[in-house]
Chains A and B, each alone.
Chain A
Amino acid sequence: MNSPSKQKEEVSRISLVPEAASVLREHAAVRDAAACRLPIADRIVVAFVVAKGTYLDGILKRDEVESSKVKKWRKTYDLSQLAKSAAASPVGFNIAGWNSSYTRQPLPAEDMREWVQTTVDRISALAPQDVLEIGCGAGLLLLRLAPACRHYVGTDFAPSVVARLKEQLAQREDLGAKVDVFERYADNFEGWAEDSFDAVIINSVAQYFPTQSYLERVLENAIRVVKPGGHVFIGDNRNRELHKALALSVEAFQSQPEVSAGELRQKITRRIQQEQELVVSPSYFVSLAARYPKVSHVGIYLRRGARDNEMTRFRFDAILAIGNAPELVREISFRERPPAGWTLPEIRSVLTSSGAETAGFAHIGNRRVERDVKLLTQLENAPPEQTLAELSREIDRDKAQAIHPEEMVGLATDMGLEVGWSWASCYPDGGYDAAFIRQVGEGNAFPKIKWPGPAPVNFVYYTNAPGEAAIREKLASELLTHCRSKLPVELTPSSCYLVDSLPPSGGGGVDCEALLAAASGLGPTPR
């Protein structure tokens, strides 16, 4: 069969095959299904299936897998505290275990200082008083945020990490009465009543959750225990939309310049297939607003920071506002991206000439990832024998056009404005939307803006499925066999993809174009 990208070329003439969708829905594994016919030579039917969580839990033995994986991460963090660097850490700055994916060496202390400070600033702006931090680790955030809070509860699953934090707390008399630390797993909310905190912080932790359903379980509880007017802060998430760009970035860094495009592509595929961490699309968090009435606003924010590292390039913070009045969300009109992309002088010019209180700019090129994304595009189209050095030379000939998010802060400051950025749109090139407003006052949170949202294609896959690929493929194969036994050949799907949701089309049906676009690049499932 043709690859999904070839199929996408024909997407303007695709049609739904309700008979196949109906047969698929009869299968015990299927919650919902769609089938699309491509009017290419052999009139291929492609199926997309949302599996029942309970069925997948059963065949994947998710309880066991989750438990074993969480235990392994727990041991990883326990071991990190047995390193000499942990014992030698100054109070409040224990960064043992924070290693670069590029060098596999500890991240530079300067990068970590910036990472901690920008995170603390973002959370402090929400002014929480009663805080629950899940995965508080050795207290990088807790020890900085707790002094301004009324009550701070920190939990972590690694006993030696908790012990290390308690040692540090013993040296902080000011915190003894208001901080409680418990050793417990992230999904254990036992004893915490509804509306009992005004912030739940889950920072740089979600990537160690074993599955999307575990993440959902944690968030469902986090939303439950936060009071109206409060927030759930899920910080430092790895961005699924840029997962491939990160894989390339790391593999290119670790490879010799003579590595061929063919070999580099294999390395990237292998890295993604062997990914052990949960990598989440911003669209997952955006989708929570529709599923949890208590969530009144979702903000997806690029990380602050001038340091160039994998956190500033590829990670984001999601902030769920709980129970806010809808009128607190400000509507801003976003100017469309000009054909050649936004430049800083153009944005300055618009801001100067409009003189408006607010101004929004859609799809600004992102300097942080511009090179990685361009290199990925080049690599995907390169002949197998072309070398990384040759590809890099081609990329580096082009002048960088995109804008570093921190440059926008400089511009805003110059003009007496404040700027906020959003990654909710999930542009495939890592671009972002920016909104400028008159100053909100030092220390105050940037207002809640109605940001542009993701395209339907981003709602198809919310997360990767670490360690589940083979079993998912097996289920897809089983569903195809089921269809073959019930349908005439002309209605039988030739491939089947397991997806997280079926994005609706404008007409109330299913957006096949988005499904095919999202499936492109994944390769065909077994026939």
Chain B
Amino acid sequence: MDRKTTIRQFVQSLLTQKGDQRPFNDGDSLVFGGRLQSIDVVDVVMFLEEQWGVDFASIGFDENLLDSVNAIDALVQQAAVSR
């Protein structure tokens, strides 16, 4: 499974846990679109730390960079390059 699919599936499961069954596209705004709250973003962060070893202490934290599947994928890519 490619990285973006893994991210998409994780986001899907997160939304489902919250009772949100609505479909979403890879470019859809999830945080600023109101579907994920700050506390949900923590789940995304912990997932990225575990799955790909993203180190937010070194790259800094910005919710804007976790706002969509595309944005998350780009962040993981960037984190891998900067390691």
Interface residues of A (CB under 8 A from B): 69, 72-73, 75-76, 79-80, 82-84, 99, 104, 254, 270-271, 273-274, 276
Contact = CB atoms under 8 A, between A and B. Distances in A.
B25 interface: no
B80 interface: no
Contacts of A83: 60-62
A271 B34 CA distance: 9
A254 B33 CA distance: 9
Given A79-B45, A83-B60, A104 B31 contact: yes
Interface residues of B, number: 21
Given A72-B42, A79-B61, A271-B34, 4 more contacts: A84-B62, A270-B19, A273-B19, A274-B20
Contacts of B42: 72, 75-76, 79
A94 to B, nearest CB: 14
**A contacts with B: majority SS:** helix
B12 to A, nearest CB: 16
A80 B61 contact: yes
30 contacts: A69-B39, A72-B39, A72-B42, A73-B39, A75-B42, A75-B46, A76-B39, A76-B41, A76-B42, A79-B41, A79-B45, A80-B61, A82-B57, A82-B60, A82-B61, A83-B60, A83-B61, A83-B62, A84-B60, A84-B62, A104-B32, A104-B34, A254-B34, A270-B19, A270-B20, A273-B19, A274-B18, A274-B19, A274-B37, A276-B37
A231 to B, nearest CB: 30
Contacts of A76: 38-39, 41-42
B56 interface: yes
Contacts of B19: 270, 273-274
Contacts of A73: 39
Interface of B: 18-20, 31-32, 34, 37-43, 45-46, 56-57, 60-63
A78 to B, nearest CB: 9
A274 B18 CA distance: 7
Given A72-B43, A104-B32, A82 B37 contact: no
Contacts of A273: 19
A274 B39 CA distance: 11
Contacts of B39: 69, 72-73, 76, 276
Nearest to A96: B61
B60 A99 contact: no
A104 B62 CA distance: 12
Contacts of A84: 60, 62
B65 to A, nearest CB: 11
B40 to A, nearest CB: 8
B43 to A, nearest CB: 7
Contacts of B18: 274
A388 B19 CA distance: 25
A164 B70 CA distance: 32
Contacts of A271: 34
Nearest to A87: B60
Contacts of B38: 76, 99
Contacts of B31: 104
Nearest to B32: A104
Contacts of A276: 37, 39-40
A270 B60 CA distance: 32
B22 to A, nearest CB: 10
A104 B40 CA distance: 14
B78 to A, nearest CB: 15
B16 to A, nearest CB: 12
B14 to A, nearest CB: 12
A32 B39 CA distance: 34
B56 A79 contact: yes
A75 B20 contact: no
Contacts of B43: 72
A258 to B, nearest CB: 17
- With most chain B CB atoms within 10 A of its CB, the pick from A69, A72, A271 is A72
B39 to A, nearest CB: 5
A271 B20 CA distance: 11
Contact of A75 (B32, B45, B62, B63): B45
A386 B38 CA distance: 32
Contacts of A79: 41-42, 45, 56, 61
Among B18, B20, B39, B41, chain A packs the most CB atoms within 10 A around the CB of: B39
A266 to B, nearest CB: 11
A104 B60 CA distance: 19
A446 to B, nearest CB: 35
A69 B38 CA distance: 12
A95 to B, nearest CB: 15
Nearest to B61: A82
B28 to A, nearest CB: 14
A99 B34 CA distance: 13
A80 B62 CA distance: 8
A275 B39 CA distance: 10
A271 B35 CA distance: 9
Nearest to B35: A274
By Cβ-Cβ distance, the 6 closest A-B pairs, closest first, are A82-B61, A79-B61, A75-B42, A72-B42, A276-B39, A104-B32
Nearest to B43: A72
Contacts of A99: 38
Contacts of B20: 270, 274
